[in-house]
Structure 1
Amino acid sequence: MVSIKDIAKKAGVSISTVSYALNGSTKVTEETCARILAIAKEMNYIPNAAARNLKKRETKIIGVFLTNYSGAFYGELLQGMQEFLSQKGYDLIVCSGEQSHRMLPERMIDGAIVLDETFSSEELLSHADRGHKLVVLDREIPHPNINQVLLDNKAGAALAMDYLLETGLKKIYAVTGPAGSYDSNQRLKAARQVADRYPHIEFTEIPGDFNKPSGEKAAEQIVKEASGTVGVFCLNDDMAIGMYNFLSESSYEIGRDIHIIGFDNIEVSRYAKPRLMTIDYSKNKWGALAAEQLLKLIHNEPVEHERIYVSLIKGDSVQKI
C-alpha cells in the first residue's frame, strides 16, 4: 500500500509537506499542492482513515446496535435515524453481535444508539465512564453520557388489556417476548397489573420470542386448551400475525372465537383480515429522536431523557361480546 512517505520521496519533499497538501493546508503553495495531489493520484494513494480519525477524534459515523434484524419492526426505526443523521453530515452503520462491541472502545464511531440485549448495562456504563456517548432505547441507565429514549410500553400494554377486558372476556392470554427484552418485560409487567384489577378473569402467560413461529405455537396451544371465547394480547405484531397464520387453517374465527391485539402497528397488520387491533407509535420519530439526542450528547449540548407515546389502533380482531 502506498504511504505518505512514498509520495514524499517521489515528489522530493518532506513527509510533513505531503501531509499538509493532502489535508488542504495553506502552509504549502498551490503549485506544490497540485503537484503532490497529482502524484498521489498517479500512485493510487488511499488515505488511512483510521489514522486521520484518531487525529481528529471524530469519524462522522454513528453506530446503531441491534440484537438482530428479524421482523418488520426495524425498517422505519432505522430510516428515522438515517434521515436525521444524513441532514447533519453523519453516516449510520448497523451492528449486531458481540464482536461489533469493539467499535466503541476502538473509536470507530463517534457514538452509539443501543437496542441490543447482548450489551450488559455494566458494559455500557464502562464505555460511558471513558467518555463515549450513548443513547439507549431498551433500558434505564443513569449516567451523564447516556441518554434514554424509551417507548411508553406500560401505557400501551394497559390500553390493550383494558380494551380486551372491557369486551366482557373472562379468559385472557398474553404471549410474551424474549426473556431479556426490556420492552417485553415492561409490557408484561403492565399487563399483569391490569389483570390483577380483574380478579374474576383468568390470565395466562405463554412464552414467545417476538417472531411469527412463536405466535403460531401460542395459537396451537390456545386452540388445544381453550373453551369458549378468549382474548389474546400478543406483545408484538409479528407474533399476532403468526397467530393469524395458524388460525387461518383452523375452525377458529378471529373476532368471534378469539380476540387478538398486537403491539407495534407494523405495515402488514393493516392488511390482516380481519384488521389487527394494535398499539401504534411512530418508529420513524423514535429513530430520529434517538439520533438527535445522541448528536446533542456528542456536541456537549443540554439533553433530557425522552419518551415515545403510544395510541390504540382499533381493528376488527376484537369485538364486543
Structure 2
Amino acid sequence: MVSIKDIAKKAGVSISTVSYALNGSPKVTKETSERIQAIAKELNYIPSAAARSLKKRETKIIGIYLTNYSGAFYGELLQGMMETLSKNGYELIVCSGKESHRFLPERMIDGAIILDATYETEELLSHAERGHKLVVMDRRMDHPNISQVLLDNKAGATLAIDHLAEKGHRKIYVLKGPEISFDARQRLEAVQKAVQRYSQVEYIELDGDFNKPSGEAAAKKIHQEFSEPVGVFCLNDEMAIGMYNYFSRTNLRIGEDVHIIGFDNIEVSQYIQPRLATINYSKHKWGSLASELLINLIKKKKPEHERINVSLIEGDSVRNR
C-alpha cells in the first residue's frame, strides 16, 4: 500500500509537506500542493481513515445499533436518520452484535444511536463516562452525554385497549412481545392498567416475539379456544399479520369473529384486507429526531429527552361486536 513516505520520496519533499498538501493546508504553495496531489493520484494513494480520524478526532460517521434487521419496521426509521445526518455532513452505518461495540471506544464512529435491547445499559454508561455521545431509543438513561427519544408506548397501548372495549368486546387477548424489549414491556404495562377500568372484560395474555410465526402460533391457540367473537391486541403489526396468515386458512373471519388491532402501522398494514386497525406514529420523524439529538450532543449542547406521539388508525379489522 502506498504511504505518504512514498509520495514524499517521489516529490522530493518532506513527509510533513505531503501531509500539509493532502489536507489542504495553506502552509504549502498552490504549485507544490497541486504537484503533490498529482503524484498521490498517480500512485493511487488512499488515505488511512483511521489515521485521519485520530488526527482530526472525528470520522463523520454515526452508528445505529439494532437488535436485528428482521421485519418491515426499519426502512422509514433509517431513512429519517440518514436524511438528517446527510444534511449535517454525516454518514450512517448499521451495526449489530458484540464485535461492533468496539467502534465507539476505538473512535471509529463519532456517536451512536441505540435501538438494541442486547446492548447492556452498563456498557453504554461506561462509554458515556468516557465522553462518547449517545442517543437511546429503547430505554431511559440519565447522563450528560446521553439523550433519549422514546415512543409514547403507554398512550398507544391504552388507545388500543380502549378501542376494543368501546367496540363492545368483552373477551380480549393480548399478544405480548419479547421480554427483553423495552417497548414491549411498556405496552404490556399500559395494557394491564387499562383493562382494570373494564371490569366486564375477560383478559388473556399470550406469548409473542414480535414476528409473524409467533402471531400464527397465537392465532392457532385462539382458534382452538374460540366460542364467541373476541378482540385481539397484538403489540406489533408483524404479529398481527401472522394472525392474518393463520386465519386465512380457517373458517374464522377477521373483523367478524376475530377483531385485531396492531401497533406500528407498517406499510403493509394499509393493504391487507380487512385494513388492519393499528397504532400509528412517524418512524421517519423518530429516526430524524434521534439523529438531530445526537448531532446536538456532538456540538456540546445539553442532552434532551423527547417523546414521539402516537395516534389510533381505525380499520375494518375491528368492528362492533
User: Shorter-normalised TM-score: what interval?
Assistant: over 0.9
1:205 corresponds to: 205
- Three-state SS of the structure 2 residue aligned to 1:316 is coil
1:184 corresponds to: 184
Aligned residues: 321
* 1:108-127 Cα deviation digits (max 9, x unpaired): 11111100011011011000
2:310 corresponds to: 310
2:84 corresponds to: 84
Asked if the contact 2:233–2:260 (Cα under 8 Å) also holds between the matched residues in 1, the reply is yes
Separation (CA, whole Å) in 2 of partners of 1:111 and 1:261: 36
Letter of the 1:53 partner, please give it: S
1:72 corresponds to: 72
Letter of the 1:184 partner, please give it: A
Q: How does 1:1-12 map to 2 (within 5 A)?
A: 1-12=1-12
Deviation, structure 1 residue 174: 0.6
* 1:169-226 Cα deviation digits (max 9, x unpaired): 2211111111100000000110011112223322111111111111111100110113
Separation (CA, whole Å) in 2 of partners of 1:187 and 1:50: 42
1:232 corresponds to: 232
1:170 corresponds to: 170
Which stretches of structure 1, 4 residues or more, deviate above 6 A after TM superposition? none
Q: How does 1:100-179 map to 2 (within 5 A)?
A: 100-179=100-179
Separation (CA, whole Å) in 2 of partners of 1:85 and 1:185: 30
* 1:118-142 Cα deviation digits (max 9, x unpaired): 1011011000000000000000011
Deviation, structure 1 residue 303: 4.0
TM-score (normalizing by structure 2): 0.98
Deviation, structure 1 residue 304: 2.0
- Three-state SS of the structure 1 residue aligned to 2:249 is coil
Deviation, structure 1 residue 168: 2.0
1:242 corresponds to: 242
- Three-state SS of the structure 2 residue aligned to 1:99 is helix
Unaligned stretches of 5+ residues in structure 2: none
Asked if the contact 2:145–2:303 (Cα under 8 Å) also holds between the matched residues in 1, the reply is no
Letter of the 1:60 partner, please give it: K
TM-score (normalizing by structure 1): 0.98
Letter of the 2:81 partner, please give it: M
Separation (CA, whole Å) in 2 of partners of 1:75 and 1:152: 20
Separation (CA, whole Å) in 1 of partners of 2:193 and 2:221: 24
Separation (CA, whole Å) in 1 of partners of 2:148 and 2:169: 37
Separation (CA, whole Å) in 1 of partners of 2:273 and 2:77: 26
Separation (CA, whole Å) in 1 of partners of 2:30 and 2:259: 74
Letter of the 2:190 partner, please give it: A
